[in-house]
Structure 1
Amino acid sequence: MKEKLHTIPVNEAFDTDCECPVCVMRKSLETKAIDFTMGPSYMEDDVRGVTSQMGFCKTHVELLYKHQNRLGLALILKSHMDKVIKDVEKKTGNQSKISVPSLFKKKGEASEVVSYLEHIENSCYICSKIDGTFERYIATIFHLYHNEDVFRQKFNASKGFCTEHYNTLSMAAPQYLSGEELNRFITELNTLFLENLKRVRDDLDWFIDKFDYRYANEPWKNSKDALPRTLTKMNHII
């Protein structure tokens, strides 16, 4: 089990002054996956084979484009397009055009090509690299919570979580904890989530007030960065 735990990145994330340590963990995984994909690995046949098969979601292809390795991305996408064209040609049985849906096809029944393209639309190499490790990060949070008093203190001293990762922890908790410990975790999680959501809401409220001339000479307090912190809390953008 030890080699599957990721105590260092989990502890580092909870040591970070942030609105959601789980967002920090996932962002770190995403950055590493992007760097790996656009590094020398894109020339390796096994990696190119998987990227050609899976492609990328909209979010991650935009991040790949921003990476500035335009030649690397062009080579990756060209291989992916070659694979899609080859697969569609096989499924249509016609190399010149995609066939018109049959009049006798049941209503709501997708063609083989449509089903294939829908699968491609929901497939992403970067997401797949992130998800497996991210699941182990979540497991590690509960392992540390169950076994280490220091981490429990760190957990309760955090600034809470975004809405998505509150849900992640809440739904995962029964897999790793039980009885009174589970009840305690859910209570602490709910308290952290609501208290810190209200804190950021109040900061955002004051940020809005500062645009009113009546408050022009008042101090900003903790509201100057309230908008990006709200985006983290409500939209897990970090």
Structure 2
Amino acid sequence: MPAVTVHYVGFHPSLILEGFNRIRLAYPIERVYLMYDSKPDRYGAVSRHNVKKVQEKLSFFSPVLVKVNPLSYSSVASALFVILRREEGKTVLIDVTDMPPYMAATAAVISTLFPNAKLYAARPEQSGEFIPDPDTPEFTDFLERKDNLTLQDVFTVEKPALAVELLDEEGREVDVLVALYTRNGSAESIAELVKWLGEDPSRAVVRATYSRLVENLEKKGLVEREQEGRSKRIKLTQLGLALAEAYVKLGAAKPPRPPLALKEASVL
């Protein structure tokens, strides 16, 4: 499937470009959108300066420039909605690397409205080198200097009022996630997963039931399947892993039943 990238350019254009180069190895990039800060302040000046650098480096893709106010919910949300609607049928990769927290939260909300949207961030190798050694007097002084912001306003990040019911808690979807979670996050096959859940993998109707369960979880982005020989390995995604861990912590997940012996003939 062709892909489109959307980047907000702030203080780290080089990191954005490095992230883009990594992403383009995995996706056939067809179009690039560059969002930048249109506010008449110093942050806007930085963004407008750096977006030119990214635009020049990615000139082969003829980037589409999109001006936004990163502190305005409606500005960010409407701009992203337009892009995502225009690019339906393509994978849209939204780069939150340089987004302020409020803008990134808004992007996350809008992305949930479109199944073709994905979020990603480029993580730098360096982290915290500018922070003094915690065992030195400079550390406390540094923290005092950094804690110098005063409140202007409090923003709320609005989201759809209808909650997304991602899991059928009355069925076995949660059990499947927890079974994978408690066994290093993956199963070699449907047959192995069925065995873990205490059912007989030699029965075709049982295998078919769990195949549909796994397929449904894959559509929801909670598991992924990888072909390995005659079978497909079933793995938790990061979201699936997080939800499974949460259910375990809440005590809401049923422990898997004792496994049955796995017959060779039942391997899918």
**For this structure pair, what is the TM-score category when the shorter chain's length is used for normalisation?**
under 0.3
Bigger RCO (CA 8 Å, 6+ sep): 1
Q: Given the two structures, how large is their TM-score scaled by the length of structure 1?
A: 0.26
Higher percent of residues as helix? 1
Q: Given the two structures, how large is their TM-score scaled by the length of structure 2?
A: 0.24
